[in-house]
Amino acid sequence: MSDIATPKNEVIKCPFCKKGKIDITIIPEYYSYHSARAFGKVKRIPVVHPEKIEVHSKCSVCKKSKKEIKEAIERGSIKQISHEERIKRLKKQGLPTKIEF
């Protein structure tokens, strides 16, 4: 017996081009129980199932695949920053950029 949370169907904008519409289903995190048997006893062990995102369509505008869109949604950020910009941010925050022995 599992207590699956109700999935939500949504239509979102493409995370790459912000123009196309993509159909997704979000299944929230939920618990279910697993039975473990030993020495004539049965114990119910809770199992955590993480949130799952299913992408049903690819972008009609920029032609990105379902896999690329799913990764972008899970990662949350598409913009890759350059090495120089990353070093500039570290210096601004006061973190060291070189390790000295």
Going residue by residue through the chain (101 aa), what tens digit of pLDDT does each one get?
A: 445 678 899 999 988 888 889 999 999 999 999 999 998 899 999 999 998 999 999 888 888 899 999 988 888 755 667 888 888 888 888 887 777 77
The answer to whether 14 touches 55, Cβ cutoff 8 Å, is: no
In-domain check, residue 62? yes
Measured distance CA(8)–CA(30) in Å, rounded: 14
Tokens 């159909």 sit on residue: 23
| Secondary structure of residue 31 in the 3-state scheme | strand
The one-letter amino acid code at 45 reads: I
Q: For the whole model, what pTM was predicted?
A: 0.60
In-domain check, residue 38? yes
In-domain check, residue 98? no
In-domain check, residue 53? yes
In-domain check, residue 33? yes
Q: Which domain holds residue 76?
A: 8-93
